[in-house]
Amino acid sequence: MAECIFCKIAEGSIPSKKIYEDDMVLAFYDISPEAPVHFLVIPKKHISSVNEVDEENSKIIAHIFTVINKIVKELNIAEGGYRIVNNCGVDGGQTVNHMHFHVLGGRTLQWPPG
């Protein structure tokens, strides 16, 4: 996707503060953090949102969660707790139309969201 900012981050043409990368996914710090720890995990292949998930491409989501599991331990937020967020569509507050999972931690988070 030529105009997708997260595709550009995945291919490296827009820089990011990377935490983890493999052939399928990239994890990087959010540019505008909402918690002491706030990073994003994206598939390198463009998937617009959870609305586009199917039996074939959903394997990436299981992989994303195993990557999150590894990173939260490395960043020492596993024990204290954290939140994984996926915003989908306009009402869900999605602003970048390349599926991504936010991971927020390092402070007590409020619930419910607004």
- Residue 2 or 55: which CB sits closer to ligand 5GP? 2
Q: Token pair of 90, please? A: 């306009």
Exposed/middle/buried for residue 9 (C-beta within 10 Å: 0-12, 13-18, 19+): buried
Q: Token pair of 98, please? A: 């390349």
Q: Residue 94 touches which of ligand 5GP, Zn ion, none (CB < 5 to 8 A by kind)?
A: ligand 5GP
Work out which of 18, 31, 58, 89 binds ligand 5GP, going by CB under 6 A.
31
Active-site residue, 100 included: yes
Q: Token pair of 21, please? A: 């990368």
CA distance 70 to 65: 9
* 13 is a contact residue toward ligand 5GP (CB under 6 A): no
Least Cβ distance, residue 91 to ligand 5GP (angstroms): 12
List residues binding ligand 5GP (CB under 6 A): 5, 14, 16, 28-32, 87, 93-96
